[in-house]
Amino acid sequence: MSVQRRRGQVALVWKTHTTTDNRGNEIRVADSDGPHQVRAAFIPQRSARAEVPGQMAINVLRMIVDVDLEGVDLWSRVEWAGKQWDIVTPPAYHHGTRRTRHWSIDIRERP
């Protein structure tokens, strides 16, 4: 495990599960049973600050977590630094040695 992930910052991740809505459709939603606490490294990817009132600020980070995190996809949620984050790209698995394999997940701050 890399030093950044071992000593990284704590984040809460809500995994995804499939449920049925009131019309009988199967939908994927963030699991309400409770978050899973993980240690992760965060790398800034891109951001755009709103300059005029009414515009939206965009803040995207890459979250790097251990390989043992399963059940996370585009419908999962992340809470980090006191803010809620959406997952914007499917998690990417990076295979390597036992110490370097990891998941990288791009997250975007919720407005």
Q: Is 84 exposed, middle or buried (0-12, 13-18, 19+ CB in 10 A)?
A: middle
- DSSP count for the chain of H helices, then E strands: 1, 9
Specify the 3-state DSSP secondary structure of 102: strand
The domain over range 3-109 is classified in CATH as 2.40.10.270 = yes
Radius of gyration of the chain (CA): 15
The conformation of residue 67, written as its DSSP 8-state character, comes to T
- Report the C-alpha gap between 86 and 93 in whole angstroms: 18
Q: How far is CA 40 from CA 8, 12, 49, 55, in A?
A: 5, 10, 25, 30
User: What is the domain partition of the chain in residue ranges?
Assistant: 3-109
pTM over 0.85: no
* Residue-wise pLDDT tens digits, 18-56: 999 999 999 988 887 878 899 999 999 877 776 666 667
pLDDT at 66 over 70: yes
